[in-house]
Chains A and B, each alone.
Chain A
Amino acid sequence: MTSDMPAKTAAKRILIVDDEPRYLRLLEANLKTEGYLVVKAADGLQALEVFSAHPVDLILLDIMMPRLDGFGVCQRIREFSNVPIMVLTAKGSEQDRVRGLDLGADDYLVKPFSASELLARVRAVLRRAQPPAPQTDARYFVHDDLRIDLARAEVWRGGHQVSLSATEYRLLLQFAYHIGKILTSEDLLTGVWGPEYKSDKEILWVSIARLRQKLEDDAHNPRHIVTRSGLGYLMPPIEA
């Protein structure tokens, strides 16, 4: 993998946050072999300080930490940034996972994890964070009060710009590119997150819910992203 890294592109910078020095060491050692630059923080408050000083491409965030826990960090960072965040959670705590995603995390990694699992997830999240190559020549996509500027990867609703995370933007594009077509959970998970996520329905549910919160007037009666019970989701065509 290391030899495949193109030397021209700037190395990705990753902030790792954990109160256990041995986790920091584990993450750092493995990430460095892949050519990532690593910055570290030992608790939530330090993470916020480091993040405001160093722009990073990804944050790996432990949940259980003194001073300010991972949920708190996630929530505060999401107030001003869409940087990809991956939370590290303990196995079996589904609630933690969902809560992390609810607060705007892009992905989660369950402890204990293997080194290759860690690196694969990191690659997947960074891949999703790249602006997707446009699949159409059109500059704009319009759906009712929703307008996507495909060239600048910006989303507008009414007259206001909506701030979406990279994952949410990719998810929205899936619908826009397949307007009127029902997309299954598997389609969406594979298309947005990657084939290794195809059975990870939780992450999809939470992301759809977040997207609706941002795009719909009434998230319970959505007009842009509609559920077809038992089948999947679709963006209905606008009647002319």
Chain B
Amino acid sequence: MPIEPSTLSTLHLLRAAARSGSDWKSAFDNLLIQVRADFMYDNVALYLLDTRRRNLEVARARAAGRGRRFEADTNWGEALAGEVLSRNETIEREPVTAANEDRLQRPYVIGLPISMAGRTEGALIFVRFGGPEFSETHRLLAEWIADTVGSLLESRGLLAARSELEQAQRQIRMQDDFVSNISHELRTPLGFIKGYTTSLLRRDTSWDENTQREFLSIIEEESDRLTQLIENMLESARLQSHTTKFHLQPVRLDSLVQDVVTRLRLAHPDLHIRTEIAEVPPISGDAARLVQVFDNLFGNALKYAPGSLLTVGVSSGDRRVRFSLEDRGPGIPEEYLPFLFDRFYRVDADASATGTGLGLYICRQIILAHHGKIWVESVPDQGATFFVELPVEP
């Protein structure tokens, strides 16, 4: 029997509908809207086994025409869905009596198994209230729809599984990087402690007093670095898992920054530092944590822009308080800027400076916990400016 052109174009439209949409649900909806031109139904429901493959759950239901009143109620199909699933075949049900006046009491139902990857995973149920009964052609069309829905779910399921797998792989990769970074960071100070200690312990040579002191100071500094590293790692793990408690209270950033600067001047009497600190409204913050952030930023400036003039600013506007710290050091090459606040990130060229690669990460976590922003701007050879912006209390 030759295929009618109209049949072909219907199939074509149905196929296009089944491929449309951004997820399987919209594709399913589009398909069932499209099919209604050739296949009348009042209600349709798709039942799928839950992830434990124990219970059937309604994955999608649509009501059209006379079934609208029953939109939310899909119980009418559940028993049949279970039967279709266990028998794995198409089942039709007709009303016990055709005499009832109320059409809703005379449902004609067809249930079709939905299979994915060769396993029956659910059932598709169509209802016509008050008939007509399903003809042979309609049964074939319904089977075709069930088949299409099955492969639709299968392919979307594969896509979802793939993206889950990719996500899991990314996680594993990040964990691997984390472990290798940690071990590298821990090993560096240990290598110095081991190397310089065993040098001092050599029996076949004697070191002069200056060299001994030099080696011992290195050992001391590297042990401190190791301690600092471990503390930072714990701190960053706590911040990462959001188990750090923040004691929020009104904080005046102007006086807080002024205190940090005063302390800094005492510790570094020959420091060139200029302050442009305006009176600003209080913000809600954890003062000790914020001091930690500013200490870290000043520490970085001293380390990476030694001897440079530092300009500290505190200002407010647009319901935000802004802190800035500008140095006139060598600046930060543009390619490093996006990664500066990442965990364990350290600028390659600065291998000579000691550090854990955690400082700015911790700063960012603290500022994020305050619903603020932290960022850096830099022009190579002219210096770098770090900014912190915090919202003013409502």
Residues on A facing B (Cβ under 8 Å): 1-2, 19-23, 25-26, 29-30, 33, 64-66, 90-92, 111-118
Contact of B195 among A64, A66, A90, A113 (CB under 8 A): A113
Verify A112–B191 contact, CB threshold 8 A: yes
Complex: A92 Cα to B184 Cα, angstroms: 11
Q: How far is the CA of A31 from the CA of B194 in the complex (A)?
A: 16
In the assembled complex, the Cα of A117 lies from the Cα of B194 at a distance in Å of 11
Identify the closest chain B residue to A26 (Cβ). B195
User: Given the complex of chains A and B, what is the CA–CA distance between A19 and B349 in angstroms?
Assistant: 9
Selected contact of A90 from candidates B184, B348, B351, CB within 8 Å: B184
**Chain A residues, CB < 8 A from B196:** 26
Interface segment, B80-88, B197-205, B262-270, B381-389? B197-205
User: A19, B191: Cβ atoms under 8 Å?
Assistant: no
B24 at the interface (CB under 8 A from A): no
Check B205–A2 contact: CB distance below 8 A: yes
Contact between B205 and A116, CB atoms less than 8 A apart: no
Once bound together, how far apart are the Cα atoms of A134 and B352, in whole Å? 47
List chain A residues, Cβ under 8 A from B183. Answer: 90, 92
* Closest beta carbon of chain A to B97's beta carbon, Å: 79
**Residues of the B chain whose Cβ atoms lie less than 8 Å from the Cβ of A114:** 194-195, 198
Question: In the bound complex, what is the Cα–Cα distance between A115 and B187 (angstroms)?
Answer: 16
Q: Which of B193, B198, B218, B352 contacts A19 (CB 8 A)?
A: B352
| Residue B255 is within 8 A (CB to CB) of chain A in the complex | no
Q: Mark B3-40, 1 if CB is under 8 A from A, else 0.
A: 00000000000000000000000000000000000000
Nearest A residue to B206 via CB reads: A33
Q: Given A1-B204, A114-B194, do A21 and B184 touch, yes or no (CB 8 Å)?
A: no
Task: Kindly provide the distance from the CB of A204 to the nearest chain B CB, expressed in whole angstroms.
Answer: 27
* Interface assignment of B211: CB less than 8 Å from any CB of chain A: yes
Contact of B187 among A66, A91, A117, A118 (CB under 8 A): A91
A20 and B184 alpha carbons, distance in the complex (Å) = 13
In this complex, the interface size class of chain B, counting residues with CB under 8 Å from chain A, is 20 to 34
Contact B187 A90 (CB under 8 A): yes
Can you give 7 A-B contacts (C-beta < 8 A)?
Answer: A20-B188, A22-B218, A29-B215, A33-B204, A112-B193, A116-B204, A118-B195
Minimum Cβ distance to chain B for residue A238 (Å): 48
Q: Does B192 lie at the interface of the complex (its beta carbon under 8 Å from any beta carbon of A)?
A: yes
Q: Given contacts A19-B351, A29-B211, A33-B205, is CB(A111)–CB(B187) below 8 Å?
A: yes
Given the known A-B contacts A1-B204, A30-B199, A115-B198, are A22 and B187 also in contact in the complex, defined by CB atoms under 8 Å? Answer: no
B190 contacts the other chain (Cβ, under 8 Å)?
Answer: yes
Name B347's closest neighbour in chain A (CB-CB).
Answer: A66
A92 and B190 CA atoms in complex are apart in Å by 14
Query: How far, in angstroms, from A113 to B198 measured CA to CA in the complex?
Result: 9
Partner of A112 from the list B195, B211, B349 (CB cut-off 8 Å) is B195
A19, A23, A115: the one within 8 Å of B202 (CB) = A115
A92 to B152, CA, bound (A): 48
* Interface pairs A-B: 6 shortest CB-CB: A114-B198, A112-B194, A112-B191, A115-B199, A33-B205, A115-B198
Task: Find chain B residues with CB under 8 A from A117 CB.
Answer: 198
Pairwise interchain contact A112-B205, C-beta atoms closer than 8 A: no
- The answer to whether A113 and B348 touch (CB under 8 A), given A1-B204, A29-B211, is no
A178 vs B94: C-alpha distance in the bound complex, in angstroms? 96
Q: Roughly how many angstroms separate A115 CA and B348 CA in the complex, as a whole number?
A: 27
Given contacts A91-B187, A111-B191, contact A21 B352 (CB under 8 A): yes
Closest Cβ–Cβ distance, residue A188 to chain B (whole Å): 30
Could you tell me the distance between the alpha carbons of A118 and B202 in the complex, rounded to whole angstroms? 12
Q: Which residues of A have CB within 8 Å of B190?
A: 112
Chain A contacts for B194, CB-based, 8 A: 112-114
Interface centre among A2, A19, A33 (most CB of B within 10 A): A33
Known: A20-B188, A33-B204, A116-B204. 10 other contacts (CB 8 A): A2-B204, A23-B192, A29-B199, A30-B199, A66-B351, A111-B191, A112-B193, A114-B194, A115-B198, A118-B195
List, in ascending order, chain B residues with CB within 8 A of A26's CB.
192, 195-196, 199
**Smallest CB-CB separation from B349: which chain A residue?**
A66
Which of B183, B188, B195, B196 has the largest number of chain A CB atoms within 10 A? Answer: B195
Distance between Cα atoms of A89 and B134 in the complex (Å):
76
Q: Chain B contacts of A21 at CB under 8 A?
A: 352
